[in-house]
Chain A
Amino acid sequence: MAKSKKNNDIELGIALPFEAPVARLQSQISELESEQIRTGRDFSTEIRQQRAQYVSMLRKIYQNLTPWETVQVARHPHRPLGRDYIDLLVKNFVELRGDRRFADDKAIFGGFGRIGTEKVMVIGQHKGRDTKEKIAHNFGMAQPEGYRKALRLMKLAEKYKLPVVTFIDTSGAYPGIGSEERGVAEAIARNLLEMSRLKTPIVCVVIGEGGSGGALGIAVGDKVAIMEYAYYSVISPEGCASILWRTAEKASEAADALKLTAPHLQELGVVDEIVLEPLGGAHRNPQEAGHNVEQFIIRNIRALKRFKLENLLDKRYESWRKKGAVLENPPKAKPQSKTIA
């Protein structure tokens, strides 16, 4: 679990350069507060003013985040991770493990749980917080086993008519020898196909990094949301920059060009909804972030459960089928195209 108590902004500020001004202000406020206690003098007016300034400064920074800064927030070391959302909004979680083929991949977790009053199957990616945990969870980079475990649990959910909820947060599937030779491409492909026709509602939330195919492998659903400062992309800004700009240094420009932030993605029709984050990002108030995610999930599960299964699947197909509109020119005249009898 992330430090869910009042986060130390100075500490948080150090993590991201553009948060430095608010971190400085926060430390000034702390100093005034301790000064007040130490000397007994009344600084409450100054403190109130500085707090107001802090809020407006934070709001201003977060309203004007560049896409590259948004990527930094999505990767923030204190940002709530997949398993944090279990603690924040899933009750009575029963973890289920293993793909029954090879191993239990800890980059992807899953199990039964209750969100609000809804019984669901929860599946998510988890990166790990400290070094030891990160290694245990392979930094949230799943191998084929992770995707196959996810599919196994989804089929279980289908059998018992439980809605599926997925939390997406990965830089990508793991690029390793074992991962390739056990068919990570096939595992992801299979999930895309099976999720598109799974006979139970599916709700997906990109909570941090939506890193290409490794993210999509658990993100085909009836409703897909992205959190306000999460991102979703076909390639990392660094990867894109190193290919197109020939240097990873241009990641900031690549992040602009890729249109990978929530508002762009909603406009492009990649996601259905944006889940708002607390002032200054989910890492400043995980409870509020969790609450907003919970509301999104409950509202959509209730709506989706009302559909007849056939309509649910038709709507899901349509929603994926229409992603990526193209230009339709008048058909060309084709003298060469003769079908033989």
Chain B
Amino acid sequence: MANDVQDTTPYNAESLGDRPQRTKREVPDGLWMRCPKCEAMLYRKAVAENLDVCPECEHHFRMKGWDRVNQLTDPGSFEEHFDNLATVDPLDFKWAGKVYAERIAIEQKKTGINDSILTGVAYIKGRRVALGVMVGEFIMGSMGTVLGEKLARLIELATEQSLPLIVVCISGGARMHEGALSLMQMAKTSAALARYDDAGGLYIAILTDPTTGGTTASFAMLGDITIAEPDAEICFAGARVIANTIKADLPEGFQRSEFLMEKGFIDMIVHRKELRSEIARLIDYCKA
């Protein structure tokens, strides 16, 4: 057990296959898709038009990065920053015949995004904000040096311009391909948040399914106000790691949004369609 070493990276792109079936193939190709929660067959376009929420049971599907930006911001208002940064592959990381630098190039091409977060300035219901949106489809929203740098710069920009800061989290944790430098991004972003806090900034963290590992143990849990989407998995150690450690079943609903709110770690659970108005309402209370 002493060597039963626990990971900050409970889920990675590579480990997703081991996750509960709930998340497996949520979005198969084709015109139709099955809701993993209510099992209804859904017309894909109808789901997309419903903010990626199941029209039958309100299950919140994972959103892609740009879809989230478009959902949250006033049309055409997102001004992207820091999209010119890229990883230097600091460890020259290779594994089992695979090469991290190549993997990154593939991910960048696939998503059209430089790494696992989109950062910029935008308007939400007419309120100007600094916005960070993690990109779940980019190596499972894992946190590496580029995410840390982009987020730190965004926080500094929010500090300089006295903007409210909104960060939407979706993450499998730290990115092990960048080793301890990924870990350091937890402290780097938290340090930037400390200065933002000292300057009186308002930080609203929005936790979506899943928010895990090093992301949770840093900026995701440091909001002045913390919002979660319904039934999102939010944790430090993944359920599988815990079950293996304690050799016991986990309680029903463990590590879901509703559970975390009961335990006192989340202010409110907000339906995706209400997010914009809720953010606007909170900003109005905290900003003159």
Contacts and interface: CB of A to CB of B under 8 A. Distances in A.
Interface of A: 75, 127, 134, 139, 141, 171-177, 179-186, 188-190, 192-197, 209-214, 216-217, 220, 232-236, 238-240, 243-246, 250, 253-254, 257-260, 265, 268-270, 316-317, 320-321, 323-332, 334, 337-340
B252 interface: no
Given A185-B217, A268-B90, A268-B180, A193 B194 contact: yes
B88 A257 contact: no
A173 B237 CA distance: 9
A258 B91 CA distance: 7
Given A127-B2, A196-B194, A338-B76, A233 B180 contact: yes
A122 B258 CA distance: 38
Contacts of A139: 1-2
A220 B187 contact: yes
Interface in B199-229: 213-214, 216-222
Contacts of B79: 337-339
Interface stretch (B3-11, B39-47, B48-56, B272-280): B3-11
A209 B3 CA distance: 11
B9 A189 contact: no
Contacts of B90: 268, 324-325
A258 B92 CA distance: 9
| 7 shortest interchain CB distances as A-B pairs | A236-B5, A175-B237, A324-B145, A172-B6, A196-B191, A192-B190, A185-B236
Q: Main secondary structure on chain B at its contact with chain A? A: mixed
A173 B251 contact: no
B181 A134 contact: no
Given A176-B245, A254-B95, A321 B188 contact: yes
12 contacts: A171-B4, A172-B6, A183-B263, A186-B265, A192-B186, A193-B193, A213-B236, A234-B175, A235-B7, A254-B95, A321-B152, A334-B83
Contacts of B246: 176-177
B133 interface: no
Contact of B176 (A195, A243, A246, A320): A243
Given A190-B222, A192-B186, A197 B6 contact: no
Contacts of B181: 268-270, 323-324
B209 to A, nearest CB: 16
Given A171-B4, A192-B187, A323-B181, A257 B245 contact: no
A196 B155 CA distance: 15
Contact of B217 (A188, A240, A338): A188
